[in-house]
Amino acid sequence: MTATELPASLLPESLRATLPGSAYTDPQVFALEQEKIFERMWFCAVRTSELDAPGKFRTVQVGRESVLVTRSREGAVKAFLNICRHRGARLCTEEAGEVKRAFQCPYHAWTYGLDGKLVAAPNLTSMPDVDRTTYGLVNVHVREWLGYVWVCLAEEPPSFEEDVIGAATERLGDPKAVDHYQADELAVGRRIRYDVRANWKLIVENFMECYHCATIHPELTEMLPEFKGGFAAQYYVGHGAEFAEEAQGFTVDGSAGVQRIPGVTEEQDRRYYAITIKPQVFVNLVPDHVIVLRMIPLAADRTVVECDWLFLKDVVDSGADLDRSVELFHRVNVQDFEACERCQPAMDSRAYARGGVLVPSEHHIGAFHDWVTARLSD
Amino acid sequence: MTATELPASLLPESLRATLPGSAYTDPQVFALEQEKIFERMWFCAVRTSELDAPGKFRTVQVGRESVLVTRSREGAVKAFLNICRHRGARLCTEEAGEVKRAFQCPYHAWTYGLDGKLVAAPNLTSMPDVDRTTYGLVNVHVREWLGYVWVCLAEEPPSFEEDVIGAATERLGDPKAVDHYQADELAVGRRIRYDVRANWKLIVENFMECYHCATIHPELTEMLPEFKGGFAAQYYVGHGAEFAEEAQGFTVDGSAGVQRIPGVTEEQDRRYYAITIKPQVFVNLVPDHVIVLRMIPLAADRTVVECDWLFLKDVVDSGADLDRSVELFHRVNVQDFEACERCQPAMDSRAYARGGVLVPSEHHIGAFHDWVTARLSD
Amino acid sequence: MTATELPASLLPESLRATLPGSAYTDPQVFALEQEKIFERMWFCAVRTSELDAPGKFRTVQVGRESVLVTRSREGAVKAFLNICRHRGARLCTEEAGEVKRAFQCPYHAWTYGLDGKLVAAPNLTSMPDVDRTTYGLVNVHVREWLGYVWVCLAEEPPSFEEDVIGAATERLGDPKAVDHYQADELAVGRRIRYDVRANWKLIVENFMECYHCATIHPELTEMLPEFKGGFAAQYYVGHGAEFAEEAQGFTVDGSAGVQRIPGVTEEQDRRYYAITIKPQVFVNLVPDHVIVLRMIPLAADRTVVECDWLFLKDVVDSGADLDRSVELFHRVNVQDFEACERCQPAMDSRAYARGGVLVPSEHHIGAFHDWVTARLSD
Ligand code: FES
Ligand code: FES
Ligand code: FES
């Protein structure tokens, strides 16, 4: 019998067990996560600026549902289940688009206003029982923060302040620290979508620890020397990793970045902060840009990750060269996702039936595991 | 709670619930349908003329079985399970072909006559226990009607007269009405195969109603103006939809069709009739041709549809231009199947967990749903 | 009711039932076979010569595990589960390769010696609880025989002498008969990998009987005329099938082969012997070469087969033309695997629910079926 076969309680004091391998491969566990995590919590769905006029829309997969996010005549963001109330046709099959003033189902032409109300249908006047509100689109809760639309499929959403904003406060130690980056006013300078063949939890765990940094992130550890030590910025409340002395900016070659975001404080300057907002958002803060990753879990072994690099609007509009800024974290992403994809196929091994071990610099991942376990048994 | 979340019995009087979404996606429901519907009922398998000589054969998927349909020396149509009785090799892997006088298994050369009897095998004479009838091919029941071979996998098939011919009688109100089209003497002018990513029941429902006609079938509603109103020909017993006054024939542009089928009555002329023969056949009758669709359900979310356009033999032999006649219903098919494919992925939505609603002009679909439900609980 | 629907005990005396069709298609049966057969028995994994220096490695799928086979500094063959003990990354993703002196996990750089011991890790010195042996790679048992590495995932492996060597003795009737071919000193003249879309048991059954030889193996039966009669060499203990008089060697056209293996006896000369070593190895012996097939079952309906043609080292080194020798059994392989692939899709048929029949010359396959059944109910 080897150590990892011991009940977790009998592991040596400095080690903790991870989740068992089946938690990363079992389709039933994944279905439960869809239901109890992604369909009940706030889910960061769409960049607000993608909906810059009434009738613009985006569709996005949230848990097992396709959600249609749009902007109403009045300028409010709205979200609905993307399915016609008549006989179930998918309303919008495109990922993004624009309608004039209503969504018309292409099957029998039931027509819904931008607020979701049923406004027209063939023979509707002779069908008084088809109530325009009852048979309107099914509403999904929305909130806006950091320039993103967050949606929640729960009938009674959890507290956005606690679950979402609270995660940033807890990490940075100050409720206002994240506001200095004015993320909601920044523009998307670059977006890259990664199709990762790994369970979403492997991606979270990877983001939370820096024990791997020295091994797989040569560019990042050159930029942030303390990461060579293996402790993630996330390990300490309020801590930001300091740029290398010789680095002029947060770029792949240490060359100067672009214009600094005005609100960023002196204390925040030349530092890198990382925030995990459970269950599916990672926010990275540096003085001149913000990097936001949103995971879209599609299967136990597949997760799409959309990553936005946000800069000052003026910077983006000026056509400034963003390549070296983007390249740094793009490389980090690729390095991380390859590591996750390397773990996924081994999760089924008998050697991982009781999981692996967390070394001291990874212990805070245990809290994530406990949180997942608690959500699923809820 | 919205209306569709009410038990069906509490829906407003003018509305009926459809089947729940899971009926269209659950592999177990589909397996049950294969067993209790497609493997127990008469299944329209092959055009008789495809077997125009002894030894010609076709293989076709019926429920979960591959069936081999052929013609014997004596000229009779025969059907067998397409599997060798020795150690289970698939006898014929081609979709169509011709053998001289027997089917020889390519594994150990067991050889079966066109009547299915085991006629030869290596060392057969020294194996007296291998009875030539007992170890003959497994017979499948056959009937011929409308120029098609219908097969039934049940040990005791249901009444062909009631289930198949009766469906046409019930629809047209007259047992002889369909005979006027002499479908068994017509020739296949065109065959198109559609691979539809939708559950077979969505295709049946689509065929049964015309509430969608005004939205998705511009050519058809121009030809059959009453279809703009949303009521399917199938809604009324014996009713045929009248051609538009300006239309000369049932063609995509209203131009003249080809030679009228002699048996068609004056009452039937310039009219379109549609018949659903459960579980998998649609017959469309117009004065100069007959359009027969046969569904071959392959998975909960996949159905192959083979559509034949049948014309008088002389017309086909003469090389007459059939394109405009074929084009009309080919467009209808494509329009319909796209609508079905648009519904399939949304069947899993929480908004469809209890199904959608049938408006008054769709109420007759409810009878189809009741029939399916009854068959499955049989 | 037909004969095969009878309980096996009521079949005519000269016939035996095969396994039911579901044994070849049910994923749960396959999972059980992985657990109770392939993960508990000796599994022939790798040609020893592929590991001709310390640090050379190969990865191979054994049951549901990826196994890493390598050679230590001391020259001993070693095998491990191919998974890092830290957080489960697959150690080696390539099929074959070479490391200098250790396997370093590419995620957090835990580093394992060629003997599996943990030799280094970031911060290892400050993590005294990470014991270098406890957290070493998980060992897999190894044996060498016939020039192959055999591995066993069981904690307590079964007797290699009985299970593996015993199979050859039982077949050839003499424990030394196989040694005359000096298989461990031969060189791989050719290796061909076949990806077979069939259950592994269909491949075993096919290899065990020769009732199919006359039908599908024209070249082989010309070489071994007695195979036309339908009785496999394996049917009689110690029997080797005699070459055709006009054949000069075991080649596709009967032309002369290459240099005879010195140890082969006069009695063994001009004869073909075949051995099945359950569960996944077939050995074919002819005077101038040895053909070894290893099955790697990947799914109920998919089996990879690696086939090696082994000749004297001098022959291989001399660049002698081996094509005609290889071509004979390569054709046999293709013919056999096509037959197996033809059976696979029909295993689901209702006509095979209780299986097919074994004729007298196939009765010995029944013992294989009994063995499988006993293993699974163990
Ligand atoms: S399904 Fe949308 S209008 Fe009928
Ligand atoms: S499986 Fe057909 S003859 Fe053996
Ligand atoms: S998973 Fe191998 S070192 Fe961490």
Q: What is the mean pLDDT of residues A245-257?
A: 97
Tokens of C355: 């299986």
Length of chain B: 378
A vs C: CB pairs below 8 A: 95
- Answer whether A135 sits within 8 Å of B3, measured CB to CB: yes
Closest of A200, A241, A244 to residue A368, by C-alpha: A200
Pick A360's closest partner by Cβ from C82, C108, C127: C127
Q: How many helices (H) and strands (E) does chain B have?
A: 9, 18
Q: Is the peptide bond before C106 cis (omega within 30 degrees of 0)?
A: no
Q: Is the peptide bond before B157 cis (omega within 30 degrees of 0)?
A: no
Predicted pLDDT of residue A233: 66
Predicted pLDDT of residue B4: 45
Q: What is the mean pLDDT of residues C347-372?
A: 95
- Pairwise CA distance, residues C27 & C4, whole Å: 24
- A75 versus C234: the higher-pLDDT residue is A75
Q: pLDDT band for position A235 (50/70/90)?
A: low
Report yes or no: A274 and A346 within 8 Å, Cβ to Cβ.
Answer: no
Q: What is the mean pLDDT of residues C330-345?
A: 98
Nearby residues of B172 by Cβ (< 8 Å), 6 or more positions away: B178, B237, B238, B273, B275
Predicted pLDDT of residue A234: 66
The answer, yes or no, to whether any atom of ligand 1 lies below 6 A from the CB of A110, is yes
Predicted pLDDT of residue A90: 98
Domains by residue range for chain C, with CATH: 43-152 (2.102.10.10), 179-377 (3.90.380.10)
CA of C113 to the centre of ligand 3 (A): 15
Predicted pLDDT of residue C4: 45
Average pLDDT, chain A: 95
DSSP element (H, E) containing A68 = strand A65-71
Nearby residues of C360 by Cβ (< 8 Å), 6 or more positions away: B127, C14
Q: What is the mean pLDDT of residues B72-85?
A: 97
The answer, yes or no, to whether any atom of ligand 1 lies below 6 A from the CB of A176, is no
Q: pLDDT band for position A8 (50/70/90)?
A: low
Percent of chain C at pLDDT exceeding 70 = 97
Tokens of C59: 């990865």
Q: pLDDT band for position C1 (50/70/90)?
A: very low
Pick A90's closest partner by Cβ from B205, B346, B361: B346
B vs C: CB pairs below 8 A: 93
Q: Reduce the DSSP state of residue C237 to 3 states and report it.
A: coil
Q: At what angle do helices C323-343 and C200-208 cross, to 10 degrees?
A: 120
Q: Which chain A positions have a beta carbon within 8 Å of C135's beta carbon?
A: 2-3, 357
Closest of B151, B158, B160 to residue B81, by C-alpha: B151
Closest of B233, B308, B310 to residue B276, by C-alpha: B233
Q: Which chain B positions have a beta carbon within 8 Å of C215's beta carbon?
A: 106-109, 122
Q: If you search the block for the tokens 């074994």, which residue do you land on?
A: C358
Please name the residue whose Cα sits nearest to atom 3 of ligand 1.
A108
Report yes or no: C66 and C59 within 8 Å, Cβ to Cβ.
Answer: yes
Distance from CA of A299 to the nearest CA of C (A): 19
Complex ipTM over 0.95 = no
Predicted pLDDT of residue C186: 98
Report yes or no: A68 and A91 within 8 Å, Cβ to Cβ.
Answer: yes
Q: What is the mean pLDDT of residues A14-29?
A: 96
Q: Which chain A positions have a beta carbon within 8 Å of C134's beta carbon?
A: 2-3
Predicted pLDDT of residue C2: 45
Please name the residue whose Cα sits nearest to atom 4 of ligand 1.
A108
Chains with at least 3 CB pairs less than 8 angstroms from chain C: A, B
Amino acid found at C319: G
Predicted pLDDT of residue A4: 45
Predicted pLDDT of residue A344: 98
- Pairwise CA distance, residues B362 & B345, whole Å: 22
Q: Tell me the pLDDT tens digit for each residue of C208-252.
A: 999 999 999 999 999 999 999 887 766 678 889 999 999 999 999
Tokens of B165: 């011919």
Choice among A6-20, A152-166, A272-286, C332-346 with the minimum mean pLDDT: A6-20
**Which of A90, A93, A108 best tests the B interface by mutation, with the highest count of B CBs <10 A?**
A108
Look at strands B77-81 and B139-145 and give their pairing: antiparallel
Q: Tell me the pLDDT tens digit for each residue of A129-188.
A: 899 999 999 999 999 999 999 999 999 999 999 999 999 999 999 989 999 999 999 999
Tokens of C6: 């009878």
Q: What is the mean pLDDT of residues B19-36?
A: 98
